[in-house]
Chains A and B, each alone.
Chain A
């Protein structure tokens, strides 16, 4: 049992489990599954600066901050106690592509040449973390949700705006990964 838990979970196990978060939060207290709102609540709590978008009672949305706090703890638990230490099984084509940018496949979730404190002070590391993060925060709020709020929760409730948003997430991702990222990785 533990052996099975420690191996990576196949998509047909982990996908449905992620889907179950939608009814879980609804039944726990009418909460809508969504993560990116937490970024807004932090802004509203820490630096509302008289901006109307941040003038609301963020304390009423505290549950969302408890939820993302839980994700941090869950991430720690799973990587400390539910791992078999095997490296990620990456498609060989991708490995080969990445080697041309001096990115070695590592035993980490991220390419450590870029996503590390040393990498932060390289040009490509700075762009991918700081600019990339900015686009994630700006874009999710502009779109009114991220993968969880739109793609999982919105599509589960058959919302057309969420389908449009999801298609745009994918289009943006394909453009970046195939057309723009090769130039950034060369920096």
Chain B
């Protein structure tokens, strides 16, 4: 166990070194490998995430949060549904995170669960506003985009592709943007 912790801290230092000047805080801002497992697994271990994704996709559909109409209701204050879903999701998530910290729970592979503090930067304001504009237009954030494609609304692939282009353009111009 000691060995794993040491390995992962060297790994973080390595990342900060290599990405220091060009990529300010980038690894910790995203849901990325700052707290990644240092255990090496064969590729098919990733199938457990496929299973988790299938579960999440089903929940997204049954929660109706993928509906363009539900999103419009939310932004017109015409329904409590979305607020109820997001609010109860956060409360549940927070309770679970609290429990994991309190009892120092380990992953199924025996590693300690690690949490990364997010650093504030202005991107959360500007980017947040930009995403909000797009969210109300498309009626979908990235998760629902995938679920909608799965549900057979194939034209949403255009929206997803456009979102990938948006991500790419952000990557290309990010050093010129205020952070």
Genuine A/B complex: yes
> Which A residues contact B (CB, under 8 angstroms)?
5, 8-9, 11-12, 14-40, 42-43, 47, 49, 51-54, 56, 60-64, 66-79, 82, 88, 90-91, 93-94, 97-98, 105, 108-111, 115-117, 119-120, 127-162, 164-178, 180-181, 184
A33, A79, A140: the one contacting B142 at CB < 8 Å is A140
Given contacts A130-B158, A130-B162, contact A78 B133 (CB under 8 A): no
- For B153, list chain A residues within 8 Å (CB): 108-110, 115
Contact B78 A93 (CB under 8 A): yes
Contact B166 A70 (CB under 8 A): no
Interface check B161, CB cutoff 8 A: yes
Given contacts A11-B63, A66-B50, A145-B31, contact A172 B131 (CB under 8 A): yes
Pairs of residues from A and B, 4 with the lowest C-beta to C-beta distance, nearest first: A172-B132, A70-B53, A74-B57, A142-B127
Tally of B interface residues using CB under 8 Å: 131
Main secondary structure of the interface of B (DSSP, over half): helix
Contact A136 B131 (CB under 8 A): yes
Contact A40 B30 (CB under 8 A): yes
Contact A94 B76 (CB under 8 A): yes
A54, A149, A172: the one contacting B133 at CB < 8 Å is A172
A-B contact pairs, 29 of them (CB 8 A): A11-B81, A15-B86, A16-B92, A28-B52, A53-B174, A54-B171, A66-B46, A67-B52, A71-B53, A74-B53, A75-B66, A76-B57, A115-B156, A117-B154, A120-B158, A128-B137, A128-B138, A129-B156, A132-B138, A133-B161, A134-B166, A135-B166, A136-B134, A139-B127, A140-B142, A141-B166, A168-B131, A176-B75, A176-B133
Q: Which residue of chain B has its CB nearest to the CB of A36?
A: B142
Contact B138 A129 (CB under 8 A): yes
Contact B53 A129 (CB under 8 A): no
Contact A37 B135 (CB under 8 A): no
- For A146, list chain B residues within 8 Å (CB): 131, 141-143
